[in-house]
Amino acid sequence: MKRLIRSQMLANCSIAMLVLTTLVPMGFAKAPYEISRETLEARYADADSRFVNIDGVRLHYKDQGAGPAVVLVHASFLNLDAWSPVATELAKTHRVIRFDMLTNGLTGDDPAQRYSIERNLEMLSGLLAHLGVTRHSIVGTSSGGIVAFRHSAAHPESVERLILINSAGMPRTAATNPNRPSGSVLRRWIEARYKSRGYWQQNLSTQFTGGTIPNPTFVTRTYDMNRRAGLAEAGAIYLRNFRTGDPQTELARVRAPTLIAWGIGNLTVSHLEADVMVHWLTSASSLLIKYPKLGHYAYLEEPTRIATDMRDFLLGRRDADLRVTQRVTPACVAACTP
């Protein structure tokens, strides 16, 4: 038995060495796999696409509809077009602004290579200044939720409403980190350099827990955008710079009424984190909605339902349901007890 196990281990090592000695000298066929930003722009930019230079970065954004302004901030590995179904609904009553964050979509490289959440916050502020938007609501999902609530905390005079959908930003352990290493060393090495369309099909499908499947066009767009030339290097810098910071303090600084929406089927960030966020919003009223069957990309699974809840909240139709977390201090315990 030991001899069989040893033989299998040697065979696995031989395969790994064969792959590495074949692929490394070839640069893992990187050139054919990668797509230039110019090619992606020609393929995916449309009539609503706009570009502006923000501090040396060619930022891609869309600005549609009329009415109160609302900014949509997308998730990691996706881009502004992930919001398209929701944006179409919201644009009936609102001015909808969305942009590609650094290392995503059609936004260009940062010549300073400052890839981080903080740099994306600067991009957001620069875009709003360019558009002359002073009062607005903001929606963030996944890592875009971090940008949304930090922006809200930093600009309470400007943000009217905040919506967090399956937001990232909570402190992590090795077990709860959604970016924790998985699979064999060889698999991680390969996937760091090459993620097939099948990889993205499976990755996205596991997050659709409500009975639907990702649109094939959406899968292909995600696959293409994530093989942009130079993205692997820029993405590695972003991950090195990624910090959750102090979400409890940041959320406590938020003043805008906040809707927290969560899919209970979410496999990336547990719905219990939504309860923690509500608990930490001590300076803002909040409303928590949980969707029993939906997952991390709830707004893609049921965009009409999610957009309806978002619009109702933005227009104040759910204000009667808002609650404020009460922080009881030790001095108040005796006096506040009936």
pLDDT at 192: 58
pLDDT at 335: 55
Is residue 74 domain-shared with residue 215, that is, in the same domain? yes
Q: Which is more confidently placed, 56 or 329? A: 56
Assess if residue 331 is contained within a domain: no
pLDDT of 327 higher than 50 = yes
Lowest mean pLDDT across 4-18, 23-37, 70-84, 203-217: 4-18
> For 257-292, what is each residue's pLDDT tens digit?
999 999 999 999 999 999 999 999 999 999 999 999
- Average pLDDT (10-33) is 49
Is residue 9 domain-shared with residue 134, that is, in the same domain? no
Is residue 12 domain-shared with residue 94, that is, in the same domain? no
Is residue 180 domain-shared with residue 157, that is, in the same domain? yes
Assess if residue 22 is contained within a domain: yes
DSSP 338: -
- Average pLDDT (85-107) is 98
CB 314 within 8 A of CB 287: no
pLDDT at 193: 66
Confidence of residue 1 (pLDDT cuts 50, 70, 90): low
Query: What is the domain extent for residue 200?
Result: 34-326
Q: Which is more confidently placed, 211 or 187? A: 211
Q: What is the mean pLDDT of the chain?
A: 88
- Average pLDDT (77-93) is 98
Assess if residue 4 is contained within a domain: yes
Alpha-helix runs per DSSP H in the chain: 2-23, 30-33, 37-44, 84-90, 117-131, 143-154, 185-193, 197-205, 216-225, 231-241, 247-253, 272-280, 298-301, 303-314, 330-336
pLDDT at 278: 97
CATH number of the CATH domain containing 313? 3.40.50.1820
Residue with tokens 């805008």: 256
Is residue 59 domain-shared with residue 14, that is, in the same domain? no
The rounded distance, in Å, linking the Cα atoms of 59 and 204 is 25
Is residue 10 domain-shared with residue 147, that is, in the same domain? no
Sign of the CA dihedral with 25 first, then 28, 33, and 34 last:
negative
Is residue 180 domain-shared with residue 264, that is, in the same domain? yes
- What does pTM read for this prediction? 0.86
Assess if residue 286 is contained within a domain: yes
Is residue 196 domain-shared with residue 219, that is, in the same domain? yes
Confidence of residue 4 (pLDDT cuts 50, 70, 90): very low
Is residue 21 domain-shared with residue 105, that is, in the same domain? no
CA atoms within 13 A on the CB side of 149: 35
Is residue 42 domain-shared with residue 13, that is, in the same domain? no
Element (H, E) at 105: none
Is residue 161 domain-shared with residue 22, that is, in the same domain? no
CB 104 within 8 A of CB 79: yes
Assess if residue 59 is contained within a domain: yes
Assess if residue 279 is contained within a domain: yes
Assess if residue 337 is contained within a domain: no
pLDDT at 32: 73
The rounded distance, in Å, linking the Cα atoms of 70 and 63 is 10
pLDDT at 188: 54
- Average pLDDT (122-151) is 98
Confidence of residue 78 (pLDDT cuts 50, 70, 90): very high
How far lies 103's CA from each of 59, 109, 229, 234, in Å?
A: 11, 7, 11, 6
> For 226-262, what is each residue's pLDDT tens digit?
999 999 999 999 999 998 889 999 999 999 999 999 9
Q: Which of 113-127, 180-194, 237-251, 319-333 has the highest mean pLDDT?
A: 113-127
- Average pLDDT (187-206) is 81
Domains in the chain: how many in total? 2
Sign of the CA dihedral with 265 first, then 162, 238, and 198 last:
positive
Assess if residue 269 is contained within a domain: yes
Is residue 17 domain-shared with residue 127, that is, in the same domain? no
Nearest alpha carbon to residue 262 among 303, 295, 287, 286: 295
Confidence of residue 31 (pLDDT cuts 50, 70, 90): low
